[in-house]
């Protein structure tokens, strides 16, 4: 059986209010899936829950990865199992040099020490892969970074840690056209570098980043805390053309939504 991230009947509350109302989703390792939906549908709640944010209360369900229910594990244990989250709004940490942060993070996730010289050579390889300037890593972590630079920093972390499965929470948010292409190109490169074995769940409002992702295996739509529709890449373009209101009307007519 193909290894996959499998979400089973996941119900999650935030501050006592139920946001996710029974999510069922399977993303096989080696596939790139997109999760789309309007604001407030629960997409970011799902991302934060998958990686263990303490604010999100799991009411019911399981998330199975490598035969384990990761909801029972701490965030660092999930990272050590090969999971990664690219944040929608990466935080700024003044005084922490990006290069030092990456060295510490790499050792923590991999569970082994690596000499700084060997690590820096590896880091330079990743910078070249992503067409990033080496001066980037001498700056404070997200300190004074533009929105695009923060997102590229997330991509650099992902390239370095080489996770087996990445959740990207609206990484295209706030980016201009060139920024979107840079992020999409990085995803394509990392997927190819993994031998097409890495899994992705790309969470987004719009199809623009998905137009640059190759291959895109499947698109899922979330509304009101549920997955209401799944389809091929063409579904993203249809949503871009007709909008979420159109889909909501269709689903209400079919009795899928109340």
Give the residue numbers spanning the domain of 172.
Answer: 4-89+163-251
Per-residue pLDDT, 2: 67
pLDDT, one tens digit per residue, over 177-221 is: 888 888 899 899 999 999 999 999 999 988 889 999 999 999 999
In a domain, 45, yes or no: yes
CB 205 within 8 A of CB 36: yes
CB 157 within 8 A of CB 104: no
In a domain, 245, yes or no: yes
Per-residue pLDDT, 91: 81
In a domain, 132, yes or no: no
In a domain, 8, yes or no: yes
Per-residue pLDDT, 62: 97
Per-residue pLDDT, 133: 85
The rounded distance, in Å, linking the Cα atoms of 137 and 133 is 8
CB 156 within 8 A of CB 126: yes
In a domain, 137, yes or no: no
DSSP 171-223: TTTT--HHHHHHHHHHHHHHHHHTTS--EEEEEES-STTGGG-SS--EEEEEE
CB 24 within 8 A of CB 8: yes
CB 39 within 8 A of CB 19: no
Per-residue pLDDT, 66: 95
Q: Produce one character per residue of 135-172: b if its CB has 16 or more CB atoms within 10 Å, e if not.
A: ebbeeebbeebeebbbbbbbbbbbbbbbbbbbbbbbbb
Q: Which two tokens stand for residue 233?
A: 């890449």
In a domain, 100, yes or no: no
Domain of residue 79, CATH code: 3.40.50.300
Phi-psi region of 166 (alpha: psi -120 to 50; beta: other; left: phi over 0): beta
In a domain, 224, yes or no: yes
Per-residue pLDDT, 138: 92
CB 209 within 8 A of CB 184: yes
Query: Low-confidence residues of the chain, pLDDT below 70?
Result: 1-2
Per-residue pLDDT, 92: 82
In a domain, 96, yes or no: no
Look at the chain and report how many structural domains it folds into: 1
Quote the Cα angle for 171-4-196, to 5°: 65
């Amino acid at each position: 059986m193909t290894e996959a991230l499998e979400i089973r009947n996941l119900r999650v509350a935030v501050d006592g209010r139920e946001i996710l109302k029974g999510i069922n989703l399977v993303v096989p390792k080696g596939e790139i899936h997109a999760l789309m939906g309007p604001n407030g549908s629960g997409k970011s709640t799902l991302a934060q829950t998958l990686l263990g944010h303490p604010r999100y209360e799991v009411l019911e369900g399981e998330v199975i990865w490598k035969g384990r229910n990761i909801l029972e594990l701490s965030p660092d244990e999930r990272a050590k199992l090969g999971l990664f989250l690219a944040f929608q709004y990466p935080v700024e940490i003044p005084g922490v040099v990006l290069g030092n942060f990456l060295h510490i993070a790499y050792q923590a996730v991999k569970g082994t020490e690596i000499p700084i010289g060997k690590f820096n050579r590896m880091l330079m390889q990743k910078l070249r892969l992503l067409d990033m300037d080496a001066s980037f890593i001498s700056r404070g972590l997200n300190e004074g970074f533009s929105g695009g630079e923060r997102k590229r920093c997330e991509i650099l972390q992902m390239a370095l840690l080489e996770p087996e499965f990445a959740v990207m929470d609206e990484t295209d948010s706030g980016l201009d056209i060139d920024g979107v292409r840079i992020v999409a190109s990085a995803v394509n490169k990392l997927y190819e570098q993994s031998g097409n074995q890495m899994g992705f769940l790309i969470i987004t409002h719009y199809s623009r980043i998905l137009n640059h992702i190759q291959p895109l295996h499947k698109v899922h739509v979330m509304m009101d805390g549920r997955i209401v529709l799944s389809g091929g890449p063409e579904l993203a373009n249809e949503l871009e053309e007709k909008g979420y209101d159109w889909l909501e009307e269709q689903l209400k007519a079919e009795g899928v939504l109340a």
